[in-house]
Chain A
Amino acid sequence: MARVRHLVRTLVPFLVGAAAFAFILNSVVAAQHLPEYGSWTGIRPLEGKLQKLDRFASHGRVDALVLGSSISDFGFSAKLLSEQMTAATGKPYRVFNLSTGAAELATMPTLYRLARTVAKPRTLLITVPEEIKRPNVISPLSPDYILRKAPIGTAIAHPWLFPFEKWFFDIPLVHYGAPFRDRLVFGRYVHLASQGSDDYAMDDFGDSVSLSYQTSRADLSALRVSHDTMLVPLTQHRMSTWSQHAKLEYYFNDLDIDAMAQLRKLTAADGCQIVIIAHEVASDYYPAPITDPAYVRLHHQFFTILANQLHARLIVAGESFKAQQYMIMDSVHLNAYGADAFTRLIAAALTPSIAKPASQPVVKFPTLPDTPSSDVTLGNFAALVEAPKQKGALTLRLQILRNQAIPPLPDVSLRVMLRLPDNTDISAPARLTSATTIEATFAALPPGPNQMFLVRIVYEAGGRLAAQNQPVAAYTWSK
């Protein structure tokens, strides 16, 4: 008894002291506003999305989860699908987009397991393009490679660890330890490398939002031609005589096939239905979907085999999707306008009560110069905005991004410049109303609907206007 009392008397104060320090430091870290470092997964945007999904799930059930690569990260709108499904069903329907850059089929089980640490969706929308069968290796710099090398790699090897690791890495001291250290020790975020995703906003539904266009018609044609001819479909005879496994092996590698088995098992355990959505690179939709019969046959074969293997419903709505140039960010990705148009088609295919959109309206927009352009008022982030519906003097308020990758606006007089559908430029002095909002008032504008303007922030240099490269996250028109 005396030994136990001695043990307690010595151990308790020591442990209390140790825990107290950790608790205080944890509270200090939790109170800071620190950037995401991706300390668990090694992929900053993905971990940022997971945090968003956590908040999203805390406000209600997650009905559907979108998984895919950057094609669906930019080119699919969970926000719009939520709105459309809610309106059609008469009850809240909530969709979250957990797509992440460069994800492949083999990545999907990990993404799904990550999502499950927060919420179990009723529907899983797997949004993928058809691809050439890859070798059975995880290529360096692929998300799978990074995930396996990151701390989450232990949970990927032993999936029962996922909830424990999620809990551990949600502790502020653990999750934000690295940025806190950088700020405290080095005075700046020395380990926070800028990356492409920093240039785009993300909405509360997990969609990456791009209002920009960054390509040329030549780029679009080049990728489309190569994509058109890179695969050979199975002959009719083989399709009818080969086993499902043989057909599967024709299109998919072992990593993909293993991922499908994992997904089937996981979703079956959760009572979650899988829907496969065929979604191609942007150039395949411009100026109209590819109609080459061999390609169309291959397209169908690929997705039918995939859907059969996953016991999934298949939606191949893209065959009727024509992307206009203002809907395209670059040759691979749609921008926010393209994402909306594509999502409307998917919503209609998902639920019969949503009418399929009538043929796309003719939208007038200025000629989009090839990028990079000799026009110095055009930077990488010239944004497309819809024309206002009202008439008279209107104020355009632009919400701009600000993070470690984007320097703050310079302290010079800025202007907001619009290119109208008739290719004339007008500009107005800009006012900075906060660190992330800038606005300008235009006296008279041609009113919408079905018109787009090309907007950019410019500054005067040597008597000329030049682009201030500033990504636009959102915009509003007001009187």
Chain B
Amino acid sequence: MLFQTPTFLIFFLVFLPFYLVARRRHAVPLVVLAASQVFYGWWDWRFLFLLWTTIFTDFFLAQRVAATDVVWKRKLFLATSFTISLSLLGFFKYWNFFVATAVFARLPGAGAAHIPSLVLPVGISFYTFQSLSYIFDVYRGVHEPERNLVTYAAFVSYFPQLIAGPIQRVGHLLPQLVQPAPVTVERVLSGLALFAYGFFLKAVGDAIAQLINPVFSNLDHAPPSTVVASIFGFGLQIYFDFNGYSQMARGISRVLGIELTTNFRAPYLATSFRQFWTRWHITLSQWLRDYVYIPLGGNRVGSLMRYRNLMLTMLIGGLWHGAGWNFVIWGGLHGTYLVANTAFDQSWLSRSAAALPKALRAGLGWAVTFVGVMYAWLYFRIGTFHGAVTANRKIYEWLTSGHLWPWSVPSGLALLVGVVLVIDLVRRNAADIFPTELVGSRLALAVGGLAGGFFTVGLILLAATPAQQFIYFQF
């Protein structure tokens, strides 16, 4: 059930009266849980069993973790939880990858391995990570275990963010499910405006995809400059697509009086790779920081160990995105970028650069970061070795051609992309573009105009084209 389809609209309109009644009777988790099962089961009801396996496992094991002070028992329960959740994730998401890699490496017996044709349960990476963060927080004593199964299940399967995040922490979402904020007109309008903006972003992303998809499906015969332009185009597409989904999810949730964490904050304006990862897919990078990087030692170790931690964290981050070596390379590249970034900051070069004017430093930093991030997207988009080699060859041909800007970007599309980047520039440090207080101010007319504009333009952009799946649904 995609947010931008009439099916979801009907679903939401049916859900809303039940939700409003549930608020008065303090039964929000129950109604949210029921709606979330319909929402998830709409895609394939059989995978509800998988979702519930994760829910039951972490719910009960978290109780056991909290119930004992014996360290080895606590560790055992935590490890059991991790083993079960990661095994499910590993089997459904990575089994094919492991077997294919073993066959490729000609490992003994691998040739006889059966590669089942498994369907990837949508959103499995997101809800697994969300659930794992809960038991880990209980283990660390950051959070008390939830005693009510319904409330916990509603937390794991909360439909606005179930499929593609933003990944929520138990301390942030669970209390809101029990006691949501009042549904005020400002909050509802702000949520609708946010949804409209997300819808617009998704539509622009789809428009970009229409231009670049034919290039990626015919890389061998595409001109070098077009390939380079398409890699940049994909970088924009994935940002608009995923940010669009996140904004829509936050908008829907805000209407219900439940705030979801911001997931993007003008990432393409970052002036360093480290800053990029504080602005791109914020909820995942924070998860990786808190549950991988810091447990590995984080910054509290020597430089080399720190670099290792960074690299390992990003490799896991890459693999989280998809079961393929291309995602490992993508993660590895970002790991390398972060290591280089950290090494630079610790070196005499950084101190020398401090003498440069601030604007020049920022400009240089932005250019290096932007190009580096865009280059890495190549491996995200192209899943084959041959494709990646071809794309790199085309980049080389483009660089040595002497014609670095022979691109022809449709002006209308450039204008729409420009609008988003200007909004990013203006609101780069804000939590979101349409905060609740803005709707209640004298700017309500302008906010309404912008929201109406985003929604209308989004509708036009998607007119007569089939609804496209969000890219992050596959992760």
Contacts and interface: CB of A to CB of B under 8 A. Distances in A.
Interface of A: 6-7, 10-11, 13-22, 25, 37, 39, 173-174, 177-178, 180-181, 183-187, 190-191
Given A177-B459, A186-B211, A21 B452 contact: yes
A180 B459 CA distance: 11
Interface string B403-416: 00000001111001
B446 interface: yes
B461 interface: yes
Nearest to A10: B185
A135 to B, nearest CB: 28
For the complex of A and B, the 7 pairs showing the least CB-CB separation, nearest first, are A17-B448, A18-B452, A14-B448, A17-B449, A177-B463, A178-B464, A21-B452
A181 B189 contact: no
Interface in B429-456: 439-440, 444-453, 455-456
A191 B464 contact: yes
B439 A10 contact: yes
Contacts, number: 92
B210 A190 contact: yes
Contacts of B144: none
B186 interface: yes
Nearest to B416: A185
A19 to B, nearest CB: 6
A177 B460 contact: yes
A20 B446 CA distance: 10
Contacts of A181: 207, 460-461, 463
A173 B448 CA distance: 19
B117 interface: no
Given A17-B448, A21-B453, A187 B411 contact: yes
A18 B451 contact: yes
Contacts of A187: 410-412
B218 interface: no
Given A20-B449, A187-B412, 12 more contacts: A11-B185, A13-B445, A13-B448, A17-B449, A25-B456, A173-B460, A181-B460, A185-B410, A185-B416, A186-B210, A186-B412, A187-B410
Contacts of A186: 207, 210-211, 410, 412-413
Contacts of B445: 13-14, 16-17
Contacts of B456: 21-22, 25, 173
B460 A7 contact: no
Contact of B185 (A6, A20, A178, A191): A6
Contacts of A6: 185
13 contacts: A10-B439, A13-B444, A13-B448, A21-B450, A25-B456, A185-B207, A185-B410, A185-B413, A185-B461, A186-B211, A186-B412, A186-B413, A191-B464
Given A17-B444, A17-B445, A17-B446, A191 B465 contact: yes
B410 A18 contact: no
A17 B410 contact: no
A11 B448 CA distance: 9
Interface string B384-418: 00000000000000000000000000111100100
Interface residues of B, number: 32
Contacts of A174: 463
A21 B445 CA distance: 11
Which of B185, B416, B447, B448 counts the most chain A CB atoms within 10 A? B448
B34 to A, nearest CB: 27
A18 B449 CA distance: 4
A191 B460 CA distance: 13
Contacts of A183: 412
Nearest to A6: B185
Interface of B: 185-186, 189, 207, 210-211, 410-413, 416, 439-440, 444-453, 455-457, 459-461, 463-465
Contacts of B207: 181, 185-186
Nearest to A39: B464
A37 B464 CA distance: 9
A46 to B, nearest CB: 15
B411 to A, nearest CB: 7
B452 A19 contact: yes
A218 to B, nearest CB: 41
Contacts of A19: 452
Contact of B452 (A20, A37, A39, A184): A20
Nearest to B461: A181
Which of B185, B211, B463 counts the most chain A CB atoms within 10 A? B463
A322 B435 CA distance: 76
Contacts of A173: 456, 459-460
Given A25-B456, A186-B412, A14 B439 contact: yes
A457 B163 CA distance: 61
Given A7-B185, A18-B455, A185-B412, A39 B448 contact: no
Nearest to A154: B6
Nearest to B454: A21
A417 to B, nearest CB: 40
A15 B448 contact: yes
A39 B452 CA distance: 22
A305 B464 CA distance: 41
Nearest to B207: A185
B417 to A, nearest CB: 10
Given A10-B439, A181-B463, A185-B207, A21 B412 contact: no
Contacts of B463: 39, 174, 177-178, 181
A173 B455 CA distance: 12
Which of B186, B459, B460 counts the most chain A CB atoms within 10 A? B460
Contacts of B210: 186, 190
B398 to A, nearest CB: 23
Contacts of B185: 6-7, 10-11
B376 to A, nearest CB: 27
Contacts of A25: 453, 456-457, 460
B248 to A, nearest CB: 17
B460 A180 contact: yes
Nearest to B409: A187
A384 B439 CA distance: 67
Contacts of B459: 173, 177
Nearest to A42: B464
A31 to B, nearest CB: 15
Which of A16, A17, A22, A174 counts the most chain B CB atoms within 10 A? A17
Contacts of B410: 185-187
A459 to B, nearest CB: 31
B80 to A, nearest CB: 49
A258 to B, nearest CB: 27
A185 B412 CA distance: 4
A181 B445 CA distance: 26
Contacts of B189: 10-11, 14
B413 A22 contact: no
